[in-house]
Structure 1
């Protein structure tokens, strides 16, 4: 279930667009809120994996922070396309900020987390701590 923040001015803008027949440009707060990349999580035998779709975002614009047992991934995109032709001039700009926090399981090895990006996908690998192989029975006296 997707939770959308309530914006009381959206209804006014909808009525205004119906009355005047023109769409208003969304304000920057609404544009920022629409940047929600896909996130896939999976658990392997030796590690947990996070795959986050961040097309067009440079690795310098991605920040990963670990505080206590929470991993926060933050990214910002700035896209500007400019077209100059004889009879027209057009600029399209898209921007937004993404931030998501993941609570790590107790067996996560937070000292050896690895992150890499390739083809617009950020992959974060969180190794699992080795479990003790031998169990030992302790005699109760």
Structure 2
């Protein structure tokens, strides 16, 4: 039986660890970028309507496309943001571009011909009135 001597190199282990950490941070950075592209949403329901609030900072209302069906809302748009600051003759410019699309299923059918929308300070508020059959929906329960 022949055994080969292998010289231990602690720096090789550190290189492997560094590579794994770089890979981990690269993946998390990509994930964070994707999460920022999808707007955060909050949904609430009353007897008369469904209220949907979306966070869309830095967007112009002209860059939004909102489509409502009786059981869902589709929102898409393109973010075109540029921040430019000048200080002591030094100009700093940051750009952030990207398209997003989000489909939100609704918990009840809505009357999509009477939806109202308000966009202010980066917050989109949609009021989606419920369809008549949903407002007075009564279900008889049989006792077994």
TM-score by length of 2: 0.62
RMSD: 3.5
Q: Secondary structure at the match of 1:34?
A: helix
Q: 2:22 aligns with which of 11, 15, 18?
A: 15
Mapping 1:54-65, distance limit 5 Å: 54-65=56-67
- Alignment: residue pair count: 117
- C-alpha distance 110-87 of structure 1, shift in aligned 2 (>3 A): closer
- Match of residue 113 from structure 1: 115
In structure 1, how many angstroms separate the alpha carbons of the residues matched to 2:97 and 2:21?
A: 23
Q: Which runs of 5+ in 2 are unaligned?
A: 1-17, 139-144
Structure 1 runs of 4+ off > 6 angstroms?
none
Q: Secondary structure at the match of 2:132?
A: coil
Q: 8 Å contact 2:69–2:112 — kept in the other structure?
A: no
1:79 is displaced (CA, Å) by: 1.2
- C-alpha distance 84-45 of structure 1, shift in aligned 2 (>3 A): same
Identify, as 1 or 2, the structure richer in helix.
2
Rg (Cα) greater in structure? 2
- Match of residue 94 from structure 1: 96
- C-alpha distance 40-83 of structure 1, shift in aligned 2 (>3 A): same
In structure 2, how many angstroms separate the alpha carbons of the residues matched to 1:50 and 1:128?
A: 13
Moved more, 102-111 or 34-43: 102-111
Q: 8 Å contact 1:74–1:100 — kept in the other structure?
A: yes
- After superposition, the C-alpha distances for 1:94-136 in whole angstroms (9 at most, x for unaligned) are 2232211122345311221221212211011110123487x9x
In structure 2, how many angstroms separate the alpha carbons of the residues matched to 1:36 and 1:117?
A: 17
- C-alpha distance 50-115 of structure 1, shift in aligned 2 (>3 A): same
